[in-house]
Amino acid sequence: MTPNIPSARPGEAPRPPGTLVTTAHDRGVTTLALDSPANRNALSPPLVAQLSDALTACGADPAVRAVVLTHTGTTFSSGADLKAPANPYTFVGLMRQIVALPKPVVARVDGHVRAGGLGLLGACDLALAGRTSDFAFTEVRIGVAPAVISLPLLPRMAPRAAARHVLTGERFDAARAVESGLITEAADDVDAALAPVLDALRAASPQGLAESKRLLTVEVLDAFDRYAEDLVQRSATLFMTAEAREGIAAFLERRDAAWVL
């Protein structure tokens, strides 16, 4: 079930037109909801920029103990907006920002997650999903590879599971996502499962949370620092190839790509 995300605190002005990330606050937890359901919360430049700004505000606000990243509509995120993609450096910066934020970021998913949306999940510290949610690395189906999203995902996922899902592009369910290390927990009622996690984070000290997260993210941040530049360049090169152009055209035209047997 999609959460009811208010757009402003009581007494604040309503959100302006063009807002793609809505914000709610409850007892030290700020919920950021991707709110562009018309294009399945695709990672367009405005959405990426607004999410980054909201995370910056959360990081600077001492009243924020933790962040929940969720969505409106039936899709957490479909990945890159293929009609108007975000700059890959900007998206890498967003994922790194989530990893490096000195406050826990918890993903709440109740729907579909594809491609770059999985990069957001990988960047979060915890990820809880409804049992009927599903996931897919669809890049291989359009002639590219999950290059930049591998930065937060490969350090967290079991290697054999990552190989299966990345190479086939198959859809897999929430139970498989838990087994692979992609998400933390699958539940029939994701909000009921989330509630004790948030209460536990509210009971933790801000310093304790920040320093504990620093220990947990060393390997992931090291991957960003060592490999981000190469992977951004590799991704950009792949998207310019004839195969990728055919794959994207086939996706947008809802037909099989030329290589499908």
Residues 137-145 have a mean pLDDT of: 97
Residues 184-188 have a mean pLDDT of: 98
pLDDT (tens digit per residue) in 118-127? 999 999 999 9
Topology, domain 21-189+205-252: 2-enoyl-CoA Hydratase; Chain A, domain 1 (3.90.226)
| Res 11 pLDDT > 90 | no
| Res 149 pLDDT > 50 | yes
Residues 177-188 have a mean pLDDT of: 98
- Euclidean distance between CA atoms 165 and 147, whole angstroms: 14
**DSSP assignment of 30-61, as one string?**
EEEEE--GGGTT-B-HHHHHHHHHHHHHHHH-
Rg of the chain in Å (alpha carbons): 18
**DSSP assignment of 87-109, as one string?**
PHHHHHHHHHHHHH-SS-EEEEE
Range from 16-20, 52-56, 219-223 carrying the lowest mean pLDDT = 16-20
Question: How high is the pLDDT of residue 2?
Answer: 41
- Euclidean distance between CA atoms 186 and 218, whole angstroms: 26
Question: How high is the pLDDT of residue 15?
Answer: 62
Taking the model in full, what pTM does it have? 0.92
Percentage of the chain modeled with pLDDT above 90: 92
| Res 54 pLDDT > 80 | yes
- Euclidean distance between CA atoms 162 and 148, whole angstroms: 15
Residue 121 near residue 115 (C-beta atoms within 8 A): no
Question: How high is the pLDDT of residue 14?
Answer: 58
Token duo for residue 12: 């604040």
| Res 13 pLDDT > 50 | no
Question: How high is the pLDDT of residue 100?
Answer: 98
Going by pLDDT thresholds of 50, 70 and 90, the confidence category of residue 17 is confident
Q: Where are the domains of the chain?
A: 21-189+205-252
Going by pLDDT thresholds of 50, 70 and 90, the confidence category of residue 247 is very high
Question: Residues, the chain, total?
Answer: 261
- Euclidean distance between CA atoms 83 and 94, whole angstroms: 20
Question: How high is the pLDDT of residue 86?
Answer: 87
Residues 241-254 have a mean pLDDT of: 96
Residues 48-60 have a mean pLDDT of: 98
| Res 7 pLDDT > 50 | no
Percentage of the chain modeled with pLDDT above 70: 94
Distance of CA 145 to the CA centre of its chain: 17
Q: How many CA atoms lie within 13 A of 39 on its CB side?
A: 16
Question: What does the mean pLDDT of the chain come to?
Answer: 94
pLDDT (tens digit per residue) in 72-93? 999 999 999 988 888 999 999 9
